[in-house]
Amino acid sequence: MAGQLMMESGPIAGPVPTDGAARNVDARSADISGMPAKSTPAVSAEIGGTFWRRFVFRRPLLALILKRLGLSVGLLFAVSLMIFGGVEALPGDFATTYLGQSATPQAVENIRQDLGLDRPWSERYLSWLGGAVTGDFGTSWASKQSVSEQIGNRLGNSLFLAFFAALVSVPLAVGLGMLAVQFRNRMPDKIINVISLAAISLPEFFIGYLLIMFFAVEWGVATFPATVYDSMDFGERLSAIALPVATLVLVVLAHMMRMTRAAILNVMSSAYIETAELKGLSTFRVIARHAAPNAVAPVINVIALNLAYLVVGVVVVEVVFVYPGMGQYMVDAVTVRDMPVVQACGLIFAAFYIFLNMAADILAILANPRLRHPR
Amino acid sequence: MSDYKDYLTRQVMLGKMNRREFLGRAAALGIAASTANTLFATSAAAQEPKRGGHLKLGLEGAAATDSKDPAKALSQFMFVVGRNWGDTLVESHPTTGAPVPALAESWEPSADASTWTFAIRKGVKFHDGKELTIDDVIKTLQRHTDEKSESGALGVMKSIKEIKADGDKLVLTLTEGNADLPLLLSDYHLIIQPNGGLDNPDAMIGTGPYTVTSFEAGVRATFEKYADDWRTDRGYVDSVELIAMNDATARIAALSSGQVHFINRVDPKTVSLLKRAPTVEILNTAGRGHYVFIMHCNTAPFDNNDLRMALKLAMDRETMVQRILGGYGKIGNDFPINETYALFPEGIEQRTYDPDKAAFHYKKSGHSGPVLLRTSDVAFPGAVDAAVLYQASAKKAGIDIEVKREPGDGYWSNVWNTQPFCTSYWGGRPTQDQMYSTAYLSTADWNDTRFQRPDFDKLLLEARSELDEAKRKEMYRTMAMMVRDEGGLILPMFNDFVNAAGKQVKGYVHDIGNDMSNGYVATRVWLDS
């Protein structure tokens, strides 16, 4: 949900999404419009200094990646601590919650001792962390199965769904965004806007139910439920995920489409676009060759956020379509306070967000080399 | 009218109605004799089970955290999974609730009902080819009685002192007499496993009609017919697939689009919509589960019997059943037993909504100010609505009930059995003794009404070892009256189990024991093409 909120604030509030992207666009257009921008090497040389500074100077991209990686690891630790604290603070512990209404004091005591729940939380956290660092997420308290193994399965399913949703939605969104710019304020632009805004205004579960009602119940053309399992072949899998993918595409399309449109429009007001137009180039060529590449950074950012959402934020879609992904797995675990699973899921989700954000920043820098030497 | 016709047809299919009776009732409905004859013939023919086919069930209640060990089975999903692959020593009769033989062929109590001898069935094979021995039975029961066990049946098994073999007979010695012991052994946790499941409790190897072919917790389980099943009157379909569907709308969509043959937990609010689908049949079964409002008898202001009586009389039961259960249930009478129990005490006057009398008792209690009622939708479906309805009906009696909605998360540990007045749910138990021992005995762990009466406890223990049914019934009547008139229990309704199936599903047995034909749904139905 948090991801979605972050996304919404960007494209809807205006064409400038985040600091990074804003800086990006400005820098690029500044470059074109001929403002001086040479400064960083001199500054670095003046200060002179350590190996790291020299390294940053020579391999700025690599240094940035290393720095972000270091930061990511720190963030992951913080996240793990927060998740642990959060579950710890929830009312009821694993033993009572798992047994529910059928908890006898004896059974609760047995489980608590069995799992070492009587030990202080710091001790339990450290021993869990020790395992996690070596890649061992332990065994689920509830099902006694290996968490890594179970997650392997579920994560595979989640990525499968996210991959196809992205495969459809990203090109579609960017294409529609460019189309909307070309027909700016004319009928196609308006239609695209209204439809995508309508889709984003409906809650995901409602879109899901509508699709199920028409495609599965009324017309019987789509597969439902979307349960996937090991013995399924690729074709069956594809047909099973058709409806959830359609739902996800409708949900994320508007964000990316509107960001593309806004970013390109932003660039379109630059002087060099005017030049291109005065050269007599067609509108399409101006957009595709001159405007779009310079609008890439903010679009990459919003795409990255949406990709992260497709992996970690689709619990509702998973429930509605009976799809065995990570979201459902984590919700089940939180319900019974199955700590090893909650922690592992939380870490993996955090890792996804951190990684995709990092990738977006790096791609933005690749698209605009001037950002390699931040002032 | 068509509902009643369906009902008659079902009675014939279950073998509970003969031709003469059927024709008589059909005539009363205004159905022509020739039509009725054909109807009877088709219903009777439908009684002949068909074999084969692939049965798909969409079930609520599965989670990724489900354990394969039957001792730790808690969810609705695992309940059905266990019934498919395993057997217990004893089963309960679908309509009378009496114990019937399963892996135990017969049993014999001692005169004081404290020692029981069971003859174990011979020639039964586990799915791995090993023959069932008395040793497997003993080890299984021992695993569930072990104090360190995490078994859900631990409470049930507490009274068993010794488990041993006498030749090829199983002998159980109890700490005190218990006339209901065989029924206790029908508990769904007590599936007999090879070597008691001590080697590998998660193996899912048993003597049931289906072998497990795949299992993914919280997602799906598949089964194949076990060729060497010791029974022929079950396991009609070739293969079974259980799909976890925790979303109520998803279940309904899957059933109405024909992707599954059966779904459980149909929301009473949507039953009427689902009924419109021509291919769907609603299967509702009267059960022992009940929705309750519980007061702690030892905590002010509920330690005053006049206040308790006022609150009982301020409950509009009819409206509750109509609004909260959509009519799929029966009104309750403030004691936790209904006519589905053997030895049900008949003829106890039904308590009704009476604002005047409630106001009288309320005044007499001397209490003033609002009464705080805690609730949450996890207590039972519609619990918050029920609390608000109750608030309205109590207002007419001049009683001010303040409804506090608690978070569902942690409700069972922080509110239920802790706070003095809250909403809750009881699933019912196989016997009256067990129901009372679980929640109304002074020393019971789950005495959620804090009902502490030495005379009640004494009566309960006496009834437990009483083998004379008439005497026992009288005792249960006295106990019911005590709980009804002096206890802290407000019991407005017993809920039906509401399931739904496609019309091609035949032979569904309305089992009073528990939901989904007491979990046996997949082993009892067949598919009609």
pLDDT at A7: 37
Are residue B449 and residue B347 in the same domain, yes or no? Answer: yes
**HEC-encoded secondary structure of B84-112:** HHCCCCEEECCCCCCEEECCEEEEEECCC
Q: Is residue B504 scored above 70 in pLDDT?
A: yes
Mutation target to probe the A interface, by most A beta carbons within 10 A, among B67, B158, B219, B239 is B219
Cβ-based contacts of A104 with chain B (< 8 Å): 154-155, 445-446
Q: State the Cα–Cα distance between residues A99 and A117, nearest whole angstrom.
A: 15
pLDDT in tens, B464-473: 988 888 999 9
Q: In chain B, whose CA is at the least distance from the CA of A333?
A: B65
| Domain endpoint, select from B180, B200, B220 | B200
Task: Say yes or no for a CB contact (<8 Å) between A225 and B155.
Answer: no
Cis peptide before B301 (omega within 30 of 0): yes
Nearest to B65 among A213, A227, A336 (CB): A336
Residue A6, Cβ density class (10 Å: 0-12 exposed, 13-18 middle, ≥19 buried) = middle
pTM (predicted TM-score):
0.80
Are residue B231 and residue B268 in the same domain, yes or no? Answer: yes
pLDDT at A149: 86
Are residue B352 and residue B460 in the same domain, yes or no? Answer: yes
Q: B362 CA to chain A: closest CA distance, Å?
A: 32
Cβ-based contacts of B414 with chain A (< 8 Å): 91-92
- What are A104's two structure tokens? 């006898």
CA B28 to chain centre: 34
Q: What is the pLDDT along chain A (375 residues), one digit of tens a residue?
A: 333 333 333 333 333 333 443 334 333 333 333 344 444 444 444 555 677 778 777 777 788 788 888 888 898 889 888 988 888 887 777 877 776 656 677 777 888 888 888 888 888 888 888 888 887 888 888 878 888 888 888 899 999 999 999 999 999 999 999 899 888 889 999 999 898 888 889 998 999 999 999 998 888 888 888 888 888 889 989 999 999 999 999 999 988 999 889 998 888 888 888 898 899 888 888 888 888 888 888 888 889 989 988 988 888 898 889 899 998 888 888 877 888 888 889 888 888 888 888 888 888 888 777 766 655
Is any Cβ of chain A less than 8 angstroms from the Cβ of B20? no
- What are A346's two structure tokens? 């939380």
- Choose between B44 and A340: higher pLDDT: A340
Q: State the Cα–Cα distance between residues B268 and B323, nearest whole angstrom.
A: 9
Average pLDDT, whole number, for chain B? 89
Average pLDDT over residues B493-519: 92
Work out the angle between the directed axes of helices A339-367 and A296-312 (0-180°, nearest 10).
Answer: 170
pLDDT at A138: 85
Percent of chain B, pLDDT > 90?
65
Are residue B351 and residue B398 in the same domain, yes or no? Answer: yes
**B 239-258 residues inside an 8 A Cβ radius of A:** 243-247, 249-250, 253-254, 256-258
Average pLDDT over residues B286-305: 93
Query: Which residue from B470, B520, B468 is spatially nearest to B499, judged by alpha carbons?
Result: B520
Mutation target to probe the A interface, by most A beta carbons within 10 A, among B54, B56, B57, B65 is B65
pLDDT at B38: 61
Q: Is residue B494 scored above 90 in pLDDT?
A: yes
- Sign of the dihedral defined by the CA atoms of residues A152, A153, A158, A164, in that order: positive
Residue A295, Cβ density class (10 Å: 0-12 exposed, 13-18 middle, ≥19 buried) = buried
Q: Is residue B10 scored above 50 in pLDDT?
A: yes
Percent of chain B, pLDDT > 70?
91
Q: A111 CA to chain B: closest CA distance, Å?
A: 7
Q: Which domain holds residue B225?
A: 49-85+208-279+503-528
pLDDT at B12: 60
CATH of residue B173: 3.90.76.10
Nearest to A225 among B64, B258, B259 (CB): B259
Nearest to B410 among A92, A111, A142 (CB): A92
Confidence of residue B401 (pLDDT cuts 50, 70, 90): very high
> What's phi and psi for B213, nearest 5 deg?
-100, -30
- Choose between B43 and B379: higher pLDDT: B379
Are residue B339 and residue B392 in the same domain, yes or no? Answer: yes
Are residue B7 and residue B150 in the same domain, yes or no? Answer: no
Residue B4, H or E segment: helix B2-13
Cβ-based contacts of B376 with chain A (< 8 Å): none
Mutation target to probe the B interface, by most B beta carbons within 10 A, among A227, A314, A316 is A227
Are residue B221 and residue B176 in the same domain, yes or no? Answer: no
Three-class SS of residue B284? strand
Q: A141 CA to chain B: closest CA distance, Å?
A: 8
pLDDT at B483: 96
pLDDT at B2: 52
Are residue B358 and residue B445 in the same domain, yes or no? Answer: yes
Q: Is residue B182 scored above 70 in pLDDT?
A: yes
pLDDT at A160: 93
Q: A345 CA to chain B: closest CA distance, Å?
A: 13
Task: Say yes or no for a CB contact (<8 Å) between A217 and B256.
Answer: yes
Q: A72 CA to chain B: closest CA distance, Å?
A: 29
pLDDT at B136: 95
Q: How far is CA A221 from CA A119, A213, A224, in A?
A: 55, 11, 9
| Domain endpoint, select from B149, B177, B200 | B200
Are residue B325 and residue B417 in the same domain, yes or no? Answer: yes
Is any Cβ of chain B less than 8 angstroms from the Cβ of A6? no
Are residue B196 and residue B212 in the same domain, yes or no? Answer: no
pLDDT at B22: 64
Is any Cβ of chain B less than 8 angstroms from the Cβ of A242? no
Q: B507 CA to chain A: closest CA distance, Å?
A: 26
Q: B46 CA to chain A: closest CA distance, Å?
A: 28
pLDDT at B525: 95
Contact indicator for B347, B379 with CB cutoff of 8 Å: no
Q: In chain A, whose CA is at the least distance from the CA of B59?
A: A322
CA A316 to chain centre: 16
Are residue B187 and residue B323 in the same domain, yes or no? Answer: no
pLDDT at A44: 47
Nearest to A91 among B65, B413, B445 (CB): B413
Q: Is residue B428 scored above 90 in pLDDT?
A: no
Q: State the Cα–Cα distance between residues B43 and B23, nearest whole angstrom.
A: 12
Nearest to A320 among B148, B155, B250 (CB): B250
Mutation target to probe the B interface, by most B beta carbons within 10 A, among A217, A315, A328 is A217
CATH of residue B391: 3.10.105.10
Is any Cβ of chain A less than 8 angstroms from the Cβ of B499? no
Report the range out of A185-199, B230-244, B246-260 with the highest average pLDDT. Answer: B230-244
Is any Cβ of chain A less than 8 angstroms from the Cβ of B461? no
CATH of residue B74: 3.40.190.10
Task: Say yes or no for a CB contact (<8 Å) between B250 and A322.
Answer: yes
Q: What is the tally of structural domains in chain B?
A: 4
Are residue B488 and residue B364 in the same domain, yes or no? Answer: yes
Three-class SS of residue B236? coil
DSSP letter for each residue of A207-236: HHHHHIIIIIIIS--S--S----TT--HHH
Cβ-based contacts of B66 with chain A (< 8 Å): 142-143
